[in-house]
Amino acid sequence: MGKKWLLVSLLALWANGAYAAEPGQAGLVLEDFEYPQVTSTDGKSVATPAGKLVAVAYVGPASQANLAVKSVEAPAGHYALELTWSRGDWAGVSLGPFDDGKGFGQWGQYAGIALWVEGTGSGATLAVDIRDSQDEVFRAVFRDNFTGWKRVFLPFKSFQRRTDWQPTTAKVNGRLDWPARAYTLEPLSPQGRLAVDLIELATG
């Protein structure tokens, strides 16, 4: 398929440091959306006032996607990232890579990636993709089968190599090789809305 992977800059870890989502599950925060952010007029990107990109939507020719920073009582504070989409081919949001030399190189020290999701009970299926050091893409999925905020934890061992698409630059070996180069959140259902907050590397 003609999908192009978007490699964008993500703001470095925020000065608040690590966050414990639950007792005994301290993580390394990737993004918590708790600082002033600016959504582009076309709804395709979110950045800090200084212009550093936090998230960028990507779409195929038959899809639409929009981003917004939502003011809400979210797990990490008062803001969350909201994605709305209509999917005819592919659509999603790119959340990486880091631009400070930290983060991606440390992923292998953790058991997986966790994110807080505001479920709507829609039944929508969503995927988190990780692009590894060899440009090979691995995927884990979860379903919006709950309502309200819930912590979703995806162990790295649950990520499987994508068989439907790989970048032309990928060196395919079926192994998730660190350091990671990028990660994305991609809805697989035709349409929907989802809010996410506090994305972190976690031990469980």
| Residue that wins the pLDDT comparison between 67 and 5 | 67
- Are β-strands 112-120 and 191-202 bridged in parallel, bridged antiparallel, or unpaired? antiparallel
pLDDT (average), residues 186-198: 95
Contact 85, 192 (CB under 8 A): yes
Torsion of CA 182, 56, 98, 28, to 10 degrees: -90
Write down the pLDDT at residue 116. Answer: 96
The Cα–Cα gap between 72 and 64 comes to 24
| Residue that wins the pLDDT comparison between 127 and 77 | 127
Q: How far is CA 200 from CA 10, 60, 83, in A?
A: 13, 28, 18
- How confident is the model over 32-68, as pLDDT tens digits? 888 777 888 888 998 877 777 889 999 999 999 999 9
Q: Take residue 87 and report the two structure tokens written for it.
A: 């999917």
Structure confidence at residue 1 as a pLDDT band (50, 70, 90) = very low
The Cα–Cα gap between 103 and 87 comes to 30
The Cα–Cα gap between 27 and 153 comes to 11
- How confident is the model over 95-131, as pLDDT tens digits? 865 454 445 777 889 999 999 999 999 999 999 999 9
Q: Take residue 124 and report the two structure tokens written for it.
A: 């929508």
* 23 has pLDDT over 50: no
Write down the pLDDT at residue 48. Answer: 79
| Residue that wins the pLDDT comparison between 1 and 90 | 90
Q: Which residues pair with 64 in a beta bridge?
A: 86
Write down the pLDDT at residue 14. Answer: 26
Secondary structure of residue 125 in the 3-state scheme: strand
Span of 1-15, 37-51, 69-83 with lowest mean pLDDT:
1-15
Walk me through the domains of the chain, giving residue ranges and CATH numbers: 27-202 (2.60.120.430)
The Cα–Cα gap between 3 and 120 comes to 28
Q: How far is CA 162 from CA 100, 105, 166, in A?
A: 28, 22, 7
Write down the pLDDT at residue 143. Answer: 97
Q: Which of 132, 136, 44, 37 is nearest to 93 (CA)?
A: 44
Write down the pLDDT at residue 8. Answer: 30
